[in-house]
Amino acid sequence: MKGSLLYEGKAKKVYHVTDQPERLILSYKNDATAFNGKKKDQFEGKGRLNNLITSRVFDYLKLHHIPSHFIEALNDTEQLVEKTTIIPLEVVVRNVAAGSITRRLGIEEKTTFTPPIVELFYKKDELDDPIINDVHAYHLTDVSEQELTRIKEMALTINEHLIELFKQAGLQLVDFKLEFGRLKDGTIVLADEISPDTCRLWDLESGQKLDKDVFREGIGDLIETYELILQRLEENTCAK
Ligand code: ADP
Ligand code: UDP
């Protein structure tokens, strides 16, 4: 049963679970934010879509033996997960140039990266999540050199699985952000969400942007777009 509120973030609320101290409930909100909270809006139905999309993606990753916090979707907007201590890193994998890398390094949008690029950002709202290197990460978090190597390997393996999943749904996986956390015994697992809020997805045929960029850039209807992603995943992919 849902216990007290542990934390409220920009996109989700996190609750304790009564009598299960090692589990949490993630409750997906209808809020959308971009540019680290500088652009905000509310979209009826967004929480449901991101919860169902994330649940499907994590089920698929579980099938492919990726260790994660995910246990099960409880209802339309909530999911049960293992409690972790989140490592304050945003691990971004890029297959194609878009977003901040185009501005930061002057790389033209749509440039392909072979091999994919892994970038680390320090998860700290007050600092606007700055990009950091490995040595910064050892200083700012409790990850060891060996653990960071493993995190990057996991991120690249997850990338391969997600490229395939989204391809089946007629989507190109451009880039995405992952978070990792530690279980009580110290094991590092994939945590948080994987949704159109945290991935860039382009239509394989038309190249149309089908993710949070429709909100960031004001170029489309967020709910219609996220509905399309869920529908394509449900109709074309096998997660269970
Ligand atoms: P933010 O904190 O960036 O505004 P959200 O609104 O998505 O993000 O809030 C959800 C919070 O829950 C995030 O801080 C995320 O790191 C954290 N979280 C996700 N999965 C877990 C987990 N398994 N254990 C503990 N915290 C988690
Ligand atoms: N991303 C995210 N949360 C963040 C920052 C980025 O989920 O706080 C995702 C984003 O949706 C994209 C990828 O990580 O899929 C790379 O984002 P980028 O660095 O290009 O930043 P942006 O320009 O999107 O702010």
Question: Is 238 part of any domain?
Answer: no
For residue 66, give the DSSP letter: -
pLDDT at 238: 75
Same domain, 78 and 91: no
Which residue type does 6 have?
A: L
pLDDT at 93: 99
Q: What is the mean pLDDT of residues 151-169?
A: 98
Question: Is 145 part of any domain?
Answer: yes
- For residue 102, name the pLDDT band (cuts at 50, 70, 90): very high
| Residue among 123, 192, 194, 195 to mutate when testing ligand 1 (max atoms within 8 A of CB) | 192
**Ligand with minimal distance to 5 CA:** 1
| Residue among 198, 212, 226 to mutate when testing ligand 2 (max atoms within 8 A of CB) | 198
Q: What is the mean pLDDT of residues 217-227?
A: 97
Question: Is 93 part of any domain?
Answer: yes
Question: To which H or E segment does residue 155 belong?
Answer: helix 145-168
Same domain, 92 and 209: yes
Same domain, 52 and 116: no
From 82, 115, 147, the end of a domain falls on: 82
Question: Is 237 part of any domain?
Answer: no
What confidence tens digit (pLDDT) does each residue in 15-53 have?
Answer: 999 999 999 999 999 999 998 889 999 999 999 999 999
pLDDT at 240: 58
Asked if residues 146 and 138 have their Cβ atoms less than 8 Å apart, the reply is no
Same domain, 215 and 99: yes
CATH of the domain at 10: 3.30.200.20
What confidence tens digit (pLDDT) does each residue in 75-92 have?
Answer: 999 999 999 999 999 999
Question: Is 231 part of any domain?
Answer: no
Same domain, 165 and 104: yes
Percent over 70 (pLDDT), the chain: 99
C-alpha to C-alpha distance for 7 and 186, rounded to whole angstroms: 22
**SS3 for 4?**
strand
Question: Is 230 part of any domain?
Answer: no
Question: Is 177 part of any domain?
Answer: yes
pLDDT at 13: 98
How many domains is the chain partitioned into structurally? 2
Same domain, 193 and 98: yes
From 32, 53, 82, the end of a domain falls on: 82
98 pLDDT higher than 80:
yes
pLDDT at 134: 98
C-alpha to C-alpha distance for 84 and 227, rounded to whole angstroms: 30
Same domain, 35 and 142: no
From 82, 106, 131, the end of a domain falls on: 82
Same domain, 34 and 148: no
CB of residue 210 inside a 6 A radius of ligand 1:
no
CATH of the domain at 181: 3.30.470.20
What confidence tens digit (pLDDT) does each residue in 119-140 have?
Answer: 999 999 999 999 999 999 999 9
Q: What is the mean pLDDT of residues 172-176?
A: 99
What confidence tens digit (pLDDT) does each residue in 224-238 have?
Answer: 999 999 999 999 987
CB of residue 147 inside a 6 A radius of ligand 2:
no
**Residue 42 structural domain:** 2-82
Same domain, 38 and 112: no
Same domain, 60 and 107: no
**DSSP notation for 67-134:** -BSEEEE-SSSEEEEE--EE-SEEEEEEEE--THHHHHH-PPTT-EEEEEEEEEEE--GGGT--EE-H
Nearest CA to ligand 2 atom 19: 100
Same domain, 93 and 66: no
Same domain, 25 and 105: no
Question: Is 235 part of any domain?
Answer: no
Both tokens assigned to 47: 């929480």
- Which residues make Cβ contacts (< 8 Å) with residue 143, sequence separation at least 6? 87, 89, 137, 151, 188
**Given the CA of residue 200, which atom of ligand 2 is nearest to it?**
15
239 pLDDT higher than 80:
no
